[in-house]
Amino acid sequence: MSVSFANWPYPRVAAHRGAGRLAPENTLAAMRLGASFGFGMFEFDVKLSGDGVLVLMHDATLDRTTDGTGRVAGRTFAELARLDAGGWHSAAYAGEPVPAFAQVARWLLRNGHRANVEIKPCPGREAETGAAVALEAQRLWHGLAVPPILSSFSETALEAARRAAPGLPRALLFGQLPGDWLARCDALGCVALDAQEATLSAPVVAAAHRAGLRVITYTVNDPARARQLFDWGLDTLITDAVDRIEPGVRRA
């Protein structure tokens, strides 16, 4: 499928890491909670385990979001799957496991949900991770009308994804918007700019649209700011505030 400016089959609002901060990030429990608020698109982070299995995890180390310590890349998937990835958040989620990308993808597909998959490589594994995520996404979504969007701050990872699965839509992530953002998106064949919300302005959104790019932004938790961004023509907003920003919000 070719995802283009004229055909944007993704919801206007996506839940950040599953359900923002209301459940342990990057877990199936978070996805289920986000879905209970009506969300049909989820942003989440994917990286490689030490033995080459794609898992959901934001950090390069385990300490913040599991009961384990050390590098994600230093553990096999079997070891990661035995960790508690929910107890750090609250007792209600104690024992929630680290999920494999394939497991989450199957849940999304069974429920008709969309995905923004952030390629989040461990240091030194940028190209390897980008290619692995793209190939797995291509396999899991094979033959389906709406593939996931692949995004990354790593241009190396996104280029590897482009080479591995050129038909999948890509978005380049920016924390600060550089002067050459458009050229960098174009070089990677991106369909969207994905920028931190404070860096966006009405002229930036308009410039992206003139260039044939959609605009995604993260992480917007204020409903008034969300309305302003949609008034500027924003295409998809990523939020932690799944209990305050409606998944079907429209422009004023």
Residue 6 has what pLDDT?
A: 62
Cα distance between residue 197 and residue 186, in whole Å: 21
Residue 58 among the catalytic residues: yes
Q: What are phi and psi of 236, to 5 degrees?
A: -140, 135
Through-space distance between the first and last CA atoms of the chain, rounded to whole angstroms: 31
Note the pLDDT tens digit of each residue in 25-66: 999 999 999 999 999 999 999 999 999 999 999 999 999 999
Residue 192 has what pLDDT?
A: 98
Note the pLDDT tens digit of each residue in 143-199: 999 999 999 999 999 999 999 999 999 999 999 999 999 999 999 999 999 999 999
Cα distance between residue 46 and residue 77, in whole Å: 13
Note the pLDDT tens digit of each residue in 4-26: 546 899 999 999 999 999 999 99
Q: Positive or negative, the Cα torsion across 24, 29, 31, 37?
A: negative
CATH value of 13-239 in 3.20.20.190, 3.40.50.800, 3.50.40.10, 3.40.190.10: 3.20.20.190
Residue 250 has what pLDDT?
A: 54
Considering only CA atoms, which of 32, 21, 92, 25 is closest in space to residue 244? 21
* Mean pLDDT (whole number) for 237-242: 98
Letter for the amino acid at 190?
C
Contact of 136 with 101, CB cutoff 8 Å: yes
Owner of token pair 């190209």: 127
pTM for the complete prediction? 0.96
Cα distance between residue 129 and residue 120, in whole Å: 8
Mean pLDDT, the chain, whole residue set: 96
Residue 113 among the catalytic residues: no
Catalytic residue among 58, 89, 113, 142: 58
Q: How confident is the model at residue 116 (pLDDT cuts 50, 70, 90)?
A: very high
Q: How confident is the model at residue 248 (pLDDT cuts 50, 70, 90)?
A: confident
